[in-house]
Amino acid sequence: MSIFEYNGSALIAMVGKNCFAIASDRRLGVQLQTIATDFQRIYKIHDKLYIGLSGLATDAQTLYQRLFFRHKLYQLREERDMKPETFANLVSAILYEKRFGPYFCQPVIAGLGDDDKPFICTMDSIGAKELAKDFVVAGTASESLYGACESMYKPDMVCSIFSCTYIYKHKVLDIFGPFTKPLHPSNPTEKRKKFMASYICKPTKCRLDLTNY
């Protein structure tokens, strides 16, 4: 089993109309054993910038702490928040610093840039950036997620949380309890739902759950 699959993770970020959504699963495992079902993978850097970290959990936590530290210093020195594009470049540089002993993480970065334009990107564990206009995925379930996104994505969806979560429920088999943050410029809200894997195969139940939002 590869080191990236040790803890298990699934992350997705999607762009909608003047908004974005970033979602992750909440399972922390040690190979096949589930240790926790409330593990946080998405972190807030500032009001308009979130980062999700998939891969080895310890590296994800440490990397988040380092990035938060760097952003805090930047905020104090420059008296402003970092733009998502700038932050993505910083993450890329920090990952490449460890080129020959990397962090076993794949970040997914999502934020609102200038004029609240949504920005998403992902990168590999040594900092190769992948910008996208529509969606990005990362983690052990990435292949399933790619398939789901390709078939379900439409541009300019009003609140991509629905499609994001919908995709989660339907297609992804190794996730527990997604954690979705639909980010609209005026109203950044955080919604938590705890789902068990068994719900995935029951479309009716999923739709009901969505209306509870």
Partner 1 sequence: MGDSQYSFSLTTFSPSGKLVQIEYALMAVGSGQTSLGIKAANGVVIATEKKLPSILVDEASVQKIQPLTTNIGVVYSGMGPDFRVLVRKSRKQAQQYFRLYKEQIPVTQLVRETAAVMQEFTQSGGVRPFGVSLLVAGFDDDGPQLYQVDPSGSYFSWKASAMGKNVSNAKTFLEKRYTDDMELDDAVHTAILTLKEGFEGQISGKNIEIGIIGTDRNFRVLTPAEIDDYLAEVE
59 three-class SS: helix
Beta carbons within 10 angstroms of residue 179's beta carbon: 23
d(Cα 107, Cα 186) in Å, to the nearest integer?
25
Q: Does 61 bind partner 1 (CB under 8 A)?
A: no
Nearest residue to 161 via CA among 142, 188, 143: 188
Smaller CB separation from partner 1, 46 or 83: 83
Structure-token match 């992750």, residue found: 24
Q: How far is 159 from 157, CA to CA, in rounded Å?
A: 6
Phi and psi (nearest 5°) for 122?
Answer: -135, 170
Q: Is 62 in the site for partner 1 (CB under 8 A)?
A: no
- Stretch of 16-24, 47-55, 82-90, 133-141 lying at the interface with partner 1 (CB under 8 A): 82-90
Q: What radius of gyration do the chain's Cα atoms show?
A: 16
Residue 75 sits in the site that holds partner 1 (CB under 8 A):
no
Packing angle, helices 57-78 and 84-97, rounded to 10: 130
Question: 3-state DSSP call for residue 113?
Answer: coil
Q: Is 93 in the site for partner 1 (CB under 8 A)?
A: yes
Q: Which stretch binds partner 1 (CB under 8 A): 7-15, 87-95, 173-181, 191-199?
A: 87-95
Q: Nearest CA to 85 among 46, 112, 53?
A: 112
How many chain residues bind partner 1 (CB under 8 A)?
9
The residue among 45 and 164 lying less far from partner 1, judged by its C-beta, is 45
User: In the bound complex, what is the minimum distance in angstroms from residue 123's beta carbon to partner 1?
Assistant: 14
- Work out which of 32, 76, 77, 101 binds partner 1, going by CB under 8 A: 77
Does the protein bind partner 1 through residue 85 (CB under 8 A)?
Answer: yes
Instruction: Determine if 18 is a binding residue for partner 1 (CB under 8 A).
Output: no
- Residue 6 one-letter amino acid: Y
Member of 37, 40, 46, 83 binding partner 1 (CB under 8 A): 83
Least Å distance, CB 86 to partner 1, is: 5
Strands 179-184 and 20-24: antiparallel
Sole binder of partner 1 in the list 37, 40, 62, 89 (CB under 8 A):
89
CB closer to partner 1, 37 vs 89: 89
User: Which one-letter amino acid corresponds to residue 55?
Assistant: G
Q: Does 130 bind partner 1 (CB under 8 A)?
A: no
Binding site for partner 1 (CB under 8 A): 77-78, 82-83, 85-86, 89-90, 93
